[in-house]
């Protein structure tokens, strides 16, 4: 059987469903929250939430669950408020690298750049700065971090929003970011759940160069792959206590993510023990009652399709569904309780005493505007222009992450750094369109889908307005001027006459090149979100080759959202050095200049594989098929380096690769302590009994119409019925939970799964030394090779730890890695649980996924 679909049913059922090809079974058991016995903080939050929700009316509960509509309020998403209990309209705002649609904020380096730093403390530092800026702007729920896409497709449009093409790296980074956002008292949203690996066909109605389609792309993912690859980082973040999960646009095994009961009810809420609320991606919800039953808790932005319809799937319709008994009242209670539990869990109630909501408007840059722009109601000062970014934390996080996200790929004869390296040039040229400013400015429309100048971020909802943007030209020119170096430049891409006249005059040419990508609602040069190919833009290969013909010393700096093809020139002897800079945010240019000139020793590592042949990447599905495009994840768990390693493909640069101006050594690798975990998981902790709230049986629909004299904002989504006659028969909504599980599945019972999964099994250590000649950091990586040749097909190696010490020349440090049970486990489809296979495990430590000089073994 090639594809085991997501199911926990019997082998027979599996076979039957497989014939039907890629369907997702329904799972309608009640995923009622607050039943974990393992987490006091959530339990307390649930107690508070239950006590408030038990006093609420149906419309009040509905108001928590449904957005007011696109552009109906000031943030990209806004819930209704419940004034009786002092609960404000919640402001949901992107996103993963800064506060979207406002001013005086930082454009931090992208998630992928933070991932490339392989620096846990720095990733947390970025998370903290990001969180405090959102807080200063009055945001309640941050729409980030992103771990889906995970990076299956090298050319995927939004992979740069997440942290890299490995579940472990994504999990560690997203966990640190979530922790900081929630420590600041805001709810973090981990997104997009799940399988949103490409932009093509993510939504019906968006144009991708071909089509049309009648159903969003189906990511067809088997059960083991779902667990070991795509769900893995979500499990980490649930374990951290994340308050919100955003379901994605795509379908999974042909059921829309936001109404996929197997995914939400079973995998996320039951197995991972997720305690917060599931929010739809913007208009990713396609049905009302069906989504509610599948476990969706919050409809965003609330309307059912602004561009096509001012209606809603929830709002008054949810009220009606509960009144007429089509939806059990317990489900509405559970939605409201989950939302408020997350609210209390992070402490939003205390923030609310000092801060009543957004002090900016997403919809105008003017100081004055409408509070409800869609309805043209409430003219007031909407943009207070609060300065969130002018502080040391933000500034140093922005620059440091950009710097540590730069990967040195090549440095023949140590030509770099420009000062203190072997070349020490006195005259340089700066070439390439990617060096200078975009003629349309730093903030081009729509949503930054441009690229006629240096790259700081990708495009789409994950991008923010630059308050300043330092191009590489500006920073390199400045650094050169300070030391009396001569600089000339030429940014032309196609008419190369001017460039050719300069190319041999300088001691070295620094040539900048880029590729860009973004969210599927915008495109650039026929790149519909996803990139069309891995080639450099703006004729850069040609510029590089022509420079290499005439000058012995050329340094290439690539800025890119993902892997690029380097093959036309990477082996050229005159291409002496190559830097690969991930999207560096506002100070991208300074970071590059600091590395070039040796003020910073490069320490980034590739968070993905760069292939020699583009055919080695998993392709984007660009054919609409019969209108229901299908992406079969046939490679299973073999994503990125796992695929290259398994198939014996030689990459150009492997996952985890990155040089330094120094050389580092490792010694004395050993297993310090630990005991072999049992093959099967121990029984999960018990669950608390279901505690459904008491129901006040409604009898009269009149009580649910608009309050008398209420001044409704036009086109605003409200929880009240326009007409009590809409509800045919008020049967009463007191439908009890009839079908809840009595005990957790073996893999469940705690936050993120069975708590035993997160226990340390082994502690390993190694000594690292900086052999000089420069001080600097190095990200040492730990990989695990599972027992080979057994029941489970396993990748040759998988990342399971990284540590990045800063070492002066000659300094050494002992590094410690803690390996958890789950780091040694495989997902066993038959038993629907994690198993630690018996046999020989090899731990490997080193500088990249293919440079692993030391190993230690253990037999379990
Ligand atoms: C994106 C989400 C984003 C939301 C709100 C959607 O188009 O997919 O990531 O949070 O918009 O801006």
Task: Report residue 495: phi and psi, to 5°.
Answer: -85, 100
Annotate 168-197 with b (16+ C-beta within 10 A) or e (fewer): bbbbbbbbbbbbbbbebbbbbbbbbbbbbb
> In this structure, what CATH number is given to the domain that contains residue 690?
3.20.20.300
Residues 231, 195: Cα–Cα separation, whole Å: 9
Tokens standing for residue 85: 């209990």
Is the minimum distance from the CB of 191 to ligand 1 under 6 angstroms? Answer: yes
For residue 461, report the distance from its CA to the centre of ligand 1, in Å: 6
Closest-lying ligand 1 atom to the alpha carbon of residue 461: 12
Annotate 491-515 with b (16+ C-beta within 10 A) or e (fewer): bebeebeebeebbeebbbbbbbbbb
- Nearest Cα to Cα of residue 823 among 793, 849, 797: 797
Q: Do 656 and 789 fall into the same domain? A: no
Question: Looking at 706, 733, 753, which one is the last position of a domain?
Answer: 753
Cβ proximity of 142 and 184 under 8 Å: no
Residues 526, 827: Cα–Cα separation, whole Å: 40
Query: 3-state DSSP helix/strand/coil percent for the chain, to nearest 5?
Result: 25, 20, 55
Q: Is 318 left (phi over 0), alpha (psi -120 to 50) or beta?
A: alpha
Q: Do 714 and 790 fall into the same domain? A: no
Residue 286 belongs to domain spanning: 1-362+609-661+683-753
Q: Which of 461, 518, 529 to mutate to test the pocket of ligand 1 (most atoms within 8 A of CB)?
A: 461
For residue 159, report the distance from its CA to the centre of ligand 1, in Å: 14
For residue 71, report the distance from its CA to the centre of ligand 1, in Å: 14
Cβ proximity of 272 and 190 under 8 Å: no
Q: Whose CA is nearest to atom 4 of ligand 1?
A: 282
Cβ proximity of 553 and 574 under 8 Å: yes
Question: What are the residue ranges in the chain where pLDDT is below 70?
Answer: 1-20, 306-309, 352-355, 732-733
Instruction: Count other Cβ atoms within 10 Å, centred on residue 325.
Output: 16
819 strand-pairing partners: 762
pLDDT of residue 20: 41
- Nearest Cα to Cα of residue 4 among 328, 264, 220: 220
Does 368 reside within a domain?
Answer: no
- Nearest Cα to Cα of residue 189 among 90, 318, 291: 90
256 strand-pairing partners: 251
Residue 436: burial class (beta carbons within 10 Å; 0-12, 13-18, 19+): buried
For residue 98, report the distance from its CA to the centre of ligand 1, in Å: 14
Q: Do 449 and 575 fall into the same domain? A: yes
Cβ proximity of 102 and 74 under 8 Å: no
DSSP result, 205-272? T---SS---SSPPEEE--HHHIIIIISHHHHHHHHHT-SEEEE-SSEETTEEGGG-HIIIIIIIIIIS
Q: Whose CA is nearest to atom 11 of ligand 1?
A: 282
Q: Do 767 and 734 fall into the same domain? A: no
- Nearest Cα to Cα of residue 315 among 710, 726, 717: 717
For residue 142, report the distance from its CA to the centre of ligand 1, in Å: 11
Does 499 reside within a domain?
Answer: yes
Q: What is the dihedral of CA 218, 219, 222, 225, to 10 degrees?
A: -170
Q: Whose CA is nearest to atom 12 of ligand 1?
A: 461
For residue 112, report the distance from its CA to the centre of ligand 1, in Å: 18
Q: Do 344 and 424 fall into the same domain? A: no
Residues 244, 543: Cα–Cα separation, whole Å: 47
Tokens standing for residue 682: 């121990």
Q: Do 309 and 414 fall into the same domain? A: no
pLDDT tens track for 385-441 = 999 999 999 999 999 999 999 999 999 999 999 999 999 999 999 999 999 999 999
For residue 289, report the distance from its CA to the centre of ligand 1, in Å: 23
Closest-lying ligand 1 atom to the alpha carbon of residue 95: 10
* Ordered alpha helix ranges (H), 598-696: 641-647
Q: What is the pTM of this model?
A: 0.96
CA distances from 672 to 648, 814, 840 (A): 33, 12, 17
Is the minimum distance from the CB of 143 to ligand 1 under 6 angstroms? Answer: yes
Closest-lying ligand 1 atom to the alpha carbon of residue 248: 8
- Residue 776 CA, chain-centre distance (Å), reads 28
Helix (H) or strand (E) holding 857: strand 854-859
Q: Which of 73, 143, 459 to mutate to test the pocket of ligand 1 (most atoms within 8 A of CB)?
A: 143
Q: Which of 205, 247, 281, 301 to mutate to test the pocket of ligand 1 (most atoms within 8 A of CB)?
A: 281
Does 376 reside within a domain?
Answer: no
Handedness of CA 604, 609, 614, 620 (dihedral sign): negative
Does 525 reside within a domain?
Answer: yes
Residues 311, 164: Cα–Cα separation, whole Å: 38
Residue 53: burial class (beta carbons within 10 Å; 0-12, 13-18, 19+): buried
Is the minimum distance from the CB of 359 to ligand 1 under 6 angstroms? Answer: no
> In this structure, what CATH number is given to the domain that contains residue 842?
2.60.40.10
Does 396 reside within a domain?
Answer: no
Closest-lying ligand 1 atom to the alpha carbon of residue 143: 10
Write a three-state SS string for 421-477.
CCCCCCEEEEECHHHCCCCCCCCCCCCCCCCCCCCCCCECCCCCCCCCCCCHHHHHH
For residue 282, report the distance from its CA to the centre of ligand 1, in Å: 6
Residue 857: burial class (beta carbons within 10 Å; 0-12, 13-18, 19+): exposed
For residue 515, report the distance from its CA to the centre of ligand 1, in Å: 22
Q: Whose CA is nearest to atom 6 of ligand 1?
A: 282
Q: Whose CA is nearest to atom 8 of ligand 1?
A: 281
Q: Do 540 and 451 fall into the same domain? A: yes
- Nearest Cα to Cα of residue 274 among 261, 264, 284, 288: 264
Question: Looking at 584, 606, 628, which one is the last position of a domain?
Answer: 606
Does 377 reside within a domain?
Answer: no
Cβ proximity of 578 and 558 under 8 Å: yes
What's the domain count of the chain?
Answer: 3
pLDDT of residue 16: 36
Cβ proximity of 535 and 472 under 8 Å: no
Q: Whose CA is nearest to atom 3 of ligand 1?
A: 461
Task: Report residue 710: phi and psi, to 5°.
Answer: -70, 130
> In this structure, what CATH number is given to the domain that contains residue 491?
3.40.50.1700
Q: Do 588 and 621 fall into the same domain? A: no
- Nearest Cα to Cα of residue 487 among 402, 418, 540, 568: 418
Q: Do 127 and 218 fall into the same domain? A: yes
Q: Tokens 């003219």 — which residue?
A: 379
Edge-first strand listing for the sheet containing 187-193: 77-78, 91-93, 141-142, 187-193, 244-247, 277-280
Q: Is 470 left (phi over 0), alpha (psi -120 to 50) or beta?
A: beta
The catalytic residues are 281
Q: Whose CA is nearest to atom 7 of ligand 1?
A: 282
Tokens standing for residue 222: 């088997």
Rg (CA), the chain: 27
Is the minimum distance from the CB of 282 to ligand 1 under 6 angstroms? Answer: yes
Closest-lying ligand 1 atom to the alpha carbon of residue 77: 5
Three-point CA angle 303, 309, 314, nearest 5°: 35
Tokens standing for residue 333: 């209670």
Q: Do 528 and 593 fall into the same domain? A: yes
799 strand-pairing partners: 783
Closest-lying ligand 1 atom to the alpha carbon of residue 92: 5
Is the minimum distance from the CB of 459 to ligand 1 under 6 angstroms? Answer: no
Three-point CA angle 423, 417, 767, nearest 5°: 125
For residue 527, report the distance from its CA to the centre of ligand 1, in Å: 19
Is the minimum distance from the CB of 250 to ligand 1 under 6 angstroms? Answer: no
Q: What is the dihedral of CA 252, 254, 259, 263, to 10 degrees?
A: -40
For residue 279, report the distance from its CA to the centre of ligand 1, in Å: 11
For residue 362, report the distance from its CA to the centre of ligand 1, in Å: 13
Q: Whose CA is nearest to atom 9 of ligand 1?
A: 461
Closest-lying ligand 1 atom to the alpha carbon of residue 462: 9
Closest-lying ligand 1 atom to the alpha carbon of residue 249: 8
Is the minimum distance from the CB of 95 to ligand 1 under 6 angstroms? Answer: yes
Q: Do 502 and 551 fall into the same domain? A: yes
Q: Which of 94, 202, 278 to mutate to test the pocket of ligand 1 (most atoms within 8 A of CB)?
A: 94
Question: Looking at 737, 753, 769, which one is the last position of a domain?
Answer: 753
Query: Hey, which bits of 308-376 come out as E strands?
Result: 368-372
Q: Do 742 and 779 fall into the same domain? A: no
Does 387 reside within a domain?
Answer: no
Instruction: Count other Cβ atoms within 10 Å, centred on residue 211.
Output: 16
Is the minimum distance from the CB of 94 to ligand 1 under 6 angstroms? Answer: yes
Q: Which of 162, 280, 282, 299 to mutate to test the pocket of ligand 1 (most atoms within 8 A of CB)?
A: 282
- Nearest Cα to Cα of residue 487 among 438, 552, 431: 431
pLDDT of residue 308: 60
Does 381 reside within a domain?
Answer: no
Closest-lying ligand 1 atom to the alpha carbon of residue 301: 5
Cβ proximity of 101 and 148 under 8 Å: no
Q: Is 347 left (phi over 0), alpha (psi -120 to 50) or beta?
A: left
């Amino acid at each position: 059987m090639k594809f085991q679909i997501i199911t926990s049913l019997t082998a027979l059922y599996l076979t039957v469903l497989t014939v039907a090809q890629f369907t997702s079974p329904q799972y309608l058991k009640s995923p009622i929250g607050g039943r974990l016995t393992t987490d006091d903080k959530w339990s307390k939050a649930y107690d508070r939430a239950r006590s408030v929700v038990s006093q609420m009316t149906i419309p009040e509960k509905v108001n928590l669950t449904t957005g007011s509509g696109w552009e109906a309020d000031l943030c990209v998403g806004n819930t209704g408020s419940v004034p009786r209990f002092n609960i404000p309209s919640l402001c949901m705002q992107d996103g993963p690298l800064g506060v979207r649609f406002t001013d005086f904020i930082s454009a931090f380096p992208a998630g992928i750049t933070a991932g490339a730093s392989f620096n846990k403390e720095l990733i947390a530092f970025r998370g903290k700065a990001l969180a405090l800026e959102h807080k200063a702007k009055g945001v309640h729920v941050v729409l980030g971090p992103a771990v889906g896409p995970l990076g299956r497709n090298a050319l995927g449009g939004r992979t740069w929003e997440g942290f890299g093409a490995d579940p472990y790296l994504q999990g560690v980074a997203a966990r640190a970011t979530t922790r900081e956002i929630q420590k600041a008292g805001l709810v973090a949203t981990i997104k997009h759940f799940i399988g949103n690996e490409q932009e093509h066909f993510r939504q019906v109605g968006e144009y991708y160069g071909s089509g049309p389609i009648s159903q969003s792309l189906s990511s067809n993912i088997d059960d083991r792959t779902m667990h070991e690859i795509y769900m893995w980082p979500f499990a980490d973040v649930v374990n951290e206590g994340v308050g919100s999960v955003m379901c994605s646009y795509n379908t999974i095994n042909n059921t829309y993510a936001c109404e996929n009961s197997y995914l939400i009810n079973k995998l996320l809420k039951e197995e991972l023990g997720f305690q917060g609320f599931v929010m739809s991606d913007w208009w990713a919800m396609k049905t009302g009652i069906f989504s509610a039953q599948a476990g969706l808790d919050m409809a965003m932005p609330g309307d059912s399709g602004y561009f096509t319809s001012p209606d809603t799937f929830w709002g008054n319709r949810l009220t009606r569904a509960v009144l007429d008994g089509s939806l059990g009242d317990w489900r509405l209670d559970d939605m409201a309780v989950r939302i408020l539990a997350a609210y209390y869990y992070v402490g939003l109630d205390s923030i609310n005493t000092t801060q009543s909501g957004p002090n900016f408007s997403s919809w105008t840059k003017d100081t004055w505007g409408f509070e409800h722009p869609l309805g043209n109601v409430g003219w007031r000062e909407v943009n207070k222009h609060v300065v969130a970014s002018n502080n040391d934390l933000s500034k140093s996080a922005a620059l440091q992450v950009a710097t540590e996200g730069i990967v040195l790929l090549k440095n023949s004869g140590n030509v770099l750094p420009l000062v203190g390296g072997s070349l020490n040039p006195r005259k340089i040229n700066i070439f390439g369109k990617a060096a200078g400013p975009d003629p349309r400015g730093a903030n081009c429309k729509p949503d930054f889908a441009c690229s006629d100048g240096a790259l700081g971020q990708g495009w789409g909802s994950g991008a923010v307005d630059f308050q300043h943007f330092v191009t590489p030209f500006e920073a390199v020119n400045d650094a050169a001027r300070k030391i009396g170096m001569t600089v000339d430049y030429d940014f032309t891409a196609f008419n190369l006459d001017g460039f050719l006249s300069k190319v041999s005059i300088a001691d070295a040419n620094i040539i900048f090149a880029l590729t860009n990508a973004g969210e599927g609602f915008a495109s650039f040069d026929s790149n519909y979100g996803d990139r069309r190919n891995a080639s450099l833009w703006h004729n850069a290969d040609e510029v590089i080759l022509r420079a290499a013909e005439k000058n012995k010393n050329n340094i290439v700096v690539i800025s890119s959202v993902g892997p690029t093809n380097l093959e036309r020139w990477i082996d050229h002897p005159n291409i002496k050095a190559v830097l690969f800079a991930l999207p560096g945010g506002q100070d991208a240019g300074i970071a590059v200049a600091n590395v070039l000139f040796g003020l910073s020793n490069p320490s980034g590592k590739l968070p993905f594989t760069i292939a020699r042949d583009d055919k080695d990447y998993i392709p984007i599905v660009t054919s609409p098929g019969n209108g229901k495009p299908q992406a079969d994840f046939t490679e299973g768990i073999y994503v990125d380096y796992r695929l290259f390693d398994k198939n014996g493909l030689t990459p150009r640069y492997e996952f985890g690769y990155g040089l330094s101006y120094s050389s580092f050594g490792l010694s004395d690798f050993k297993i310090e302590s630990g005991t072999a975990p049992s093959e099967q998981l121990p029984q999960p902790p018990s669950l608390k009994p279901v505690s459904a709230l008491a129901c006040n049986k409604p009898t009269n629909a009149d009580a649910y119409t608009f309050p008398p004299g209420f001044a409704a904002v036009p086109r605003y989504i409200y929880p009240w019925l326009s007409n009590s006659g809409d509800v045919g028969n008020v049967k009463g909504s007191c439908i009890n939970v009839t079908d809840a599980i009595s005990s957790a599945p073996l893999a469940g019972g705690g936050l993120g799964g069975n708590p035993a999964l997160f226990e340390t099994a082994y502690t390993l250590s190694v000594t690292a030394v900086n052999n000089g000649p420069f001080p600097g950091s190095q990200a040492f990586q730990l990989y695990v090779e599972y027992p080979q040749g057994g029941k489970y097909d396993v990748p040759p190696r998988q990342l399971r730890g990284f540590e990045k010490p800063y070492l002066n020349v000659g300094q050494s440090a002992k590094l410690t890695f803690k390996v958890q049970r789950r780091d040694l486990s495989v997902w066993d489809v038959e038993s629907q649980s994690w198993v630690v296979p018996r046999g020989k495990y090899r731990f490997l430590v080193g500088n990249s996924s293919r440079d692993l000089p030391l190993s230690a073994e253990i037999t379990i």
